[in-house]
Amino acid sequence: MAAEATAAAANVSWFTVVASSALTSAAVNVGWNAFSKWLDRRREKAKEKQRVGHVKLEIMDQLESFANRCANYMYEIHEGFDEYYRHEPEAFSRVQHDIPLKFHPEPQWAELPVPFVAPLKALVREYSDTGAWIARTGLWADIPEQYEFELERLAFYGLEVLGVAGKIRKEIKAGERGTVQLEGSRKEFNKLIQQRREGYKKSACDITFIPELEALFEREMPDLKAQQLRARKAEELLQAEELRSASQKSGQ
């Protein structure tokens, strides 16, 4: 009986070891499969992040190239004005008519996050809308005036584009290489906008700007137009009073 009990105990122990080994092996396999799937997903996410990063890099590069073209276009327009003031015939004949803001090749927008894409599409639309606004001013503005508006559009949206490109550059950690020329363009944009700002301060009610600059200056100086209108009205009343007094004196 003792021998039979010993044999039974041995069989049970052997079965327990085998079962335990099988369970351990199954648990290891399940764990390894889960880890492998997690590792694959991580690799895929890394590859996708790298791919999207390169797409954003291309977008950033095209935006910065557009900003530099805007600055070069402004130089062309200034040269046209130089010829215009020298009374050269066809002063603006060598000045191009427009610089489109578009992407080539066009990114696959659906593959990019909406918060990233939305500002870009709005920027393109707004730039185009202002170009259409300038074209409509041909009903009352001459060619030099329209080129003044074009200078404003180039400066305003050149800065806007540089702002977006700068955010992308930081996001993808692209470094600062290649930004020297961009800073030259930025200075040109800021210089023109500051000139317009000074003109607005002197005579906000008498100068027309592109809608974006008009809105910018109104935000910066919300009471200026009202102040200038009151001052003008007071001056007109004073002149009318002086004319009335002079008329009365001459009639006596």
Q: How far apart are CA 192 and CA 200, in angstroms?
A: 12
Q: How far apart are CA 202 and CA 4, in angstroms?
A: 114
- List the chain domain ranges: 53-237
Amino acid identity, residue 135?
A
pLDDT of 112 strictly over 90: yes
Amino acid identity, residue 218?
E
pLDDT of 143 strictly over 60: yes
Of 126, 101, 102, the C-alpha closest to 211 is 126
Token pair 């369970």 in the structure block, residue? 23
pLDDT of 220 strictly over 90: yes
Q: What is the mean pLDDT of the chain?
A: 85
How much is the pTM?
Answer: 0.80
Q: Is the dihedral of CA 237, 240, 244, 245 positive or negative?
A: positive
Q: What's the pLDDT tens digit per position in 69-86? A: 999 999 999 999 999 999
Burial code of 111-148, b = ≥16 C-beta within 10 A, e = fewer?
eeeeebeeebeebbebbeebbeebeeeeeeeeeeebbb
pLDDT of residue 6: 54
pLDDT of residue 249: 76
